[in-house]
Structure 1
Amino acid sequence: MFSFKEYSREIIATIILIGVLIVLRIVIAKLIRRFAATSQLFEHRTNLVIKYINILMNILLVTILIIIWGVQTEDIFITISSIATVIGVAMFAQWSILSNITSGMVLFFSFPFRIGDTIKIHDKDFPIEAEIEDINTFHVSLKTKEGEKIIFPNNLLLQKGISIIPAKHEEREFFD
């Protein structure tokens, strides 16, 4: 039979932990949105980063709840190692997806270039000079001067040398 007195510590700790998680989510979301606003980043990129951080926080919450409710440490490690093995095997074939997501996060926070910048990708076989149209979770959309649309994976964008080509301004003579 379930008794409140028997599990009062666990229940109180769970309520406090969920409260802390809610406050952390709000604070972190506001900090990320403030950072994005000062860096002039787009709303959908900001929302993706917030979503990834919320997923990480939920995983930590579940882990802490498991510890609070007294699940045996050996059982936790066996379960986590089994899940990690299955995910590792499944994701080994999909390593590029994880690599692109991670690269997307790096591009979000380091923002070496922005949408609208013209970049040159230094690839000895296929050099590309194009304008950045969009930066997504997995790829960057580029458009060449000829109108060709190129989808370039984020992980390759971080591996290649990139030059940001300054906007060309026509110099004109002005007469009064």
Structure 2
Amino acid sequence: MKEFLLRPQVILTLSLLLLTFITHRFIIWSAIKLSKRVSRTELRKQYLNRYTGYVIWSICVIAIILVWGFSTDGFFVALGSTFAVVGVALFANWSILSNITSSFILYFTFPFKIGDRIRIHDKDLPVTAVISDIKGFYTLLITDEGENITYPNNLLLQKGVSILQERKESIFDINDQESDPTV
């Protein structure tokens, strides 16, 4: 038993597990500090914890598989194919993964938060609403008429978004009405 515990694979596996645990805890700790500074909700912190956990622990499992030397013939083909699909998915507009990636970007960098009144400048379907929640795949919006809208996170990054503060409409809407002689 003692010889088994001293094998390099066992020591490296335990080291990887410990390093992954510490990295995951550090990222969560950093996100909590950032969340307090930019006033994010508890639910959004839970999303971040869950998604970073999936990514970090998946990388750890792949590293452990490589440490133990499982057959790499088919493994690297499967791994390469998986990364190719994930890479395409991150850049596709309709992709679930692009929405998850957008959720991370919205969490850390975007200026609006839950409770903000926003205007999404979409040529075909402009939306003015209050953000009621930002989830992993979509943002929940409530219009003045009480309509609930689920808006994909990746579209929030692609479209122009105005934070309206106390105004009912965007400055762009006001200028459009003034220049239109039929109004």
Q: TM-score, normalised by structure 1?
A: 0.80
Counterpart for residue 134 of structure 1: 133
Where does structure 1 differ by over 6 angstroms across 4 or more consecutive aligned residues?
Answer: 85-91
Q: Which deviates more from structure 2 when the two are superposed, residues 41-50 or residues 139-148?
A: 139-148
- Give the aligned partner of residue 155 of structure 1: 154
Unaligned segments of structure 2, at least 5 residues: 168-183
Once the two structures are TM-superposed, the CA of residue 40 in structure 1 deviates from its matched residue by 0.5
Q: Distance in 1 between matches of 2:148 and 2:34?
A: 30
Q: What's the CA shift for 1:64?
A: 1.5
Question: Kindly tell me: are residues 108 and 75 of structure 1, through their superposed partners in 2, closer, same or farther at Cα, counting changes over 3 Å?
Answer: same
Q: Could you tell me which amino acid in structure 2 is paired with residue 29 of structure 1?
A: I
1:172 maps to none
Aligned to 1:173: none
Which secondary structure does the structure 1 equivalent of 2:36 belong to? helix
Deviation digits for residues 96-126 of structure 1 (CA, Å, limit 9, x no counterpart): 2122111111111113211111111111222
Alignment-mate amino acid for residue 109 of structure 2: S
Residue 181 of structure 2 corresponds to none
Structure 2 SS opposite 1:115? coil
1:71 maps to what in 2? 70
Give, as a single letter, the amino acid of the residue that structure 1 aligns with 2:3: F
Equivalence for 1:19: 18
Identity of aligned residues (%): 39
Q: What does the per-residue CA deviation read over 1:52-106, in whole Å, with 9 as the maximum and x for residues that have no partner?
A: 1111111211121122222354443133235557889999x99421221111111
Q: Distance in 2 between matches of 1:119 and 1:35?
A: 23
- The amino acid across from 2:48 in the alignment is V
Alpha carbons 2:86, 2:97 under 8 Å: kept: no
Structure 2 residue matching 1:4: 3-state secondary structure: helix
Distance 1:15 1:39 in 2: 36
Q: Structure 1 unaligned segments of length 5 or more: list them.
A: 169-176
Equivalent position amino acid for 2:148 in 1: K
Q: Is the 8 A contact 2:20 2:56 kept in 1?
A: yes
Greater shift, 65-74 or 49-58, is seen at 65-74
1:97 and 2:96 matched: yes
CA deviation profile, 1:117-147 (whole Å, cap 9, x unmatched): 1111111222211111111111111122222
Q: Which amino acid aligns with 2:113?
A: R
Structure 2 Cα separation of the partners of residues 48 and 20 of structure 1: 22
The change in CA–CA distance for 1:86 and 1:143 in structure 2 (over 3 A counts) is: closer
Cα RMSD between the aligned structures?
3.1
List aligned pairs for 1:35-114, cutoff 5 A.
35-81=34-80, 83=82, 95-114=94-113
Contact 2:12–2:67 (Cα < 8 Å) also in 1:
yes
Counterpart AA for 2:96: I
